[in-house]
Amino acid sequence: MGADSRDEEMDEEGGVEESGSSAGASSTKRRKQVLVGLKETDVGILEYRSHHAGIAGILKQRYRDFMVNEIDVDGKIVHLTDMKCPEKKSILPFDVNEVLTEEDQERLSVLAKGQDKSAECVIEVTEDKERRTKVHQAIRHLFPKLESTTLEDGGQKTIRVKKGGGGKHGRSRWPKDKPNYCRFVLYKENMDVYEALNIIAKYLHIGPHHFQYAGSKDKRGVTVQEVTIHRVDGQRLAQLNKVLRCIRLGNFRYVHKPLNLGELSGNHFVIILRMVKASQEQIDTAMSALRDSGFINYFGMQRFGNSLIATYLVGRALLLSQWQTAVDLILKPREEDQEDEGWRRHWMETRDAQATLAMLPNHRRRSVEQQLLRGLLKSKNDYLAAFSSIPRNTRLIYVHSYQSYIWNQITSRRLKQYGMSPVVGDLASKASIEDEDSEVPVVEYVTEENIGQFTIFDVILPLPGYSVKYPLHEAAEWYTEKLAQDGLTNEMLKHPVRDLSLTGAYRKCVVKPKNVDW
């Protein structure tokens, strides 16, 4: 089946699941063989939009059973159609691996990512001037921020490399008439966006924080979305297609502004359900209900992670300024993942970031946990400072997850108590509201005079924040109660750490997807 909608409604993180579908109610019964983790009821997904009999089936038995294409702000479905570079720029006429050893490249990468402007590294070279020239070219190509100079000491030539100072090899080499951002399409298979961008960053010898994107996509699936990167040439990105696996880059162009979270109008889904246990009549009834009545616009399970240590718990700790608690929640042992027990347990017992890093299994080498441990090592276990080593989009995920958790809880209670029609005191908007990071729309209160102008598809609820309106009925008190249970107040959401400060936003309670067929 296919549909255009938001990514959060249909996100289910990994594994074989048996779904009791209710036309987008996002409620499932997990089979016993699935990894232990959160259930929908744990994050406030409690109500159904329709009341027909559900249909059972297997979702995401194969990752290709779930395909997602981002829809940009202009309503255009994003596809990877062109893997050529947008400009005809000469590339190095030799393989950089022939002139720079893997060890040299690793040392240069550390230098480029480091903050010490006085740091440098020395590369031994031969008397061959042509080869030295290639070394300089390779360094400038792989690490535009670094400067290299040939030195001679006692007849032995070496190349000294240090941070660029804005000279001819520094960032000023970026053409002044060229937009600062390269925008491209990212196609990925069976991995989350953070993992994909970490892999790309490794090849580019930069940190993953240089990338920006409009929204996260499912890990278990085939997804296509747009990404921007600051002052990295499209030619370098295009060359990576030769070495990347399960990732493709293309449709390169240069733009003046980066993508921001929420800068999309939706997502187009193609979903295959296998082993469906229902008659054709039952299937048609369920799918017609999805098409005509829509679904409750819950934040799906991807928003909260696939572990018992939910991302919203980390977000709550951050909002409470409980920095060590937040770190421990990310690094502590997981009952459902025995493979990670050793290094996680070692951290909790010793708080030794260096030793814990050495114990990380290979599949964690580009993870949030590694980034956090590196930050802890560098900051000597300054827990707040360590979080700055995590890309901003990832830091935001935690506090937004907490917002989403509260929103799901309040939405279930609102629909259960007041039903599927507008009521006096509701907030409503005729505008399209796509994401908690989009611009704040014009909202108004439902009154006895204007209630006839609205349907359930216009009713909105706020994601908690210090700068949003709340309903004029009991739901406003529910927000206060839920925050208080976690030791928070609405005023505390204006956090002294800027990235953790939540202004709040609005989200439609019920959404009708477009272009549904099956």
In three-state secondary structure terms, 393 is helix
Amino acid at 264: L
Q: Which amino acid is at 398?
A: Y
Q: How far apart are CA 174 and CA 231, in angstroms?
A: 7
| Rounded Cα–Cα distance for residues 252 and 109 (Å) | 25
Q: Can you tell me the distance from the alpha carbon of 31 to that of 18, in angstroms, rounded to the nearest whole number?
A: 6
Contact 356, 350 (CB under 8 A): yes
Residues counted in the chain: 518
Cα–Cα distance for residue pair 313/325, rounded to 1 Å: 10
The residue annotated as part of the active site, out of 104, 192, 218, 458, is 218
Taking 3-state DSSP, the helix, strand and coil percentages for the chain, each rounded to the nearest 5, stand at 35, 20, 40
Give, for 444, the enclosing helix (H) or strand (E): strand 444-445
- Structural element, H or E, at residue 215: none
**Cα–Cα distance list, 332 to 197, 342, 373, 374, 376 (Å):** 25, 10, 12, 16, 15
* Residue 323 buriedness (CB in 10 A; 0-12 / 13-18 / 19+): middle
Query: How far apart, in Å, are the Cα atoms of 8 and each of 24, 241, 374, 434?
Result: 11, 29, 31, 11
CA proximity to 135, closest of 114, 151, 118:
151
Q: Which amino acid is at 447?
A: T
User: Catalytic site residue 104?
Assistant: no
| Token representation of residue 276 | 């469906």
Tokens 């997807």: give the residue.
Answer: 513
Cα–Cα separations (whole angstroms), residue 154 to 151, 157, 158: 10, 8, 11
Q: What is the 3-state secondary structure (H, E, C) of 448-489?
A: CCCHHHCCHHHEEEEECCCCCCCCCCCHHHHHHHHHHHCCCC
Instruction: Quote the CA–CA distance of 38 and 115 in Å, as a whole number.
Output: 39
User: Could you tell me if 184 and 28 are in contact, meaning their C-beta atoms sit under 8 angstroms apart?
Assistant: no
SS3 427: strand
Handedness of CA 196, 198, 199, 205 (dihedral sign): positive
Positions marked catalytic: 218
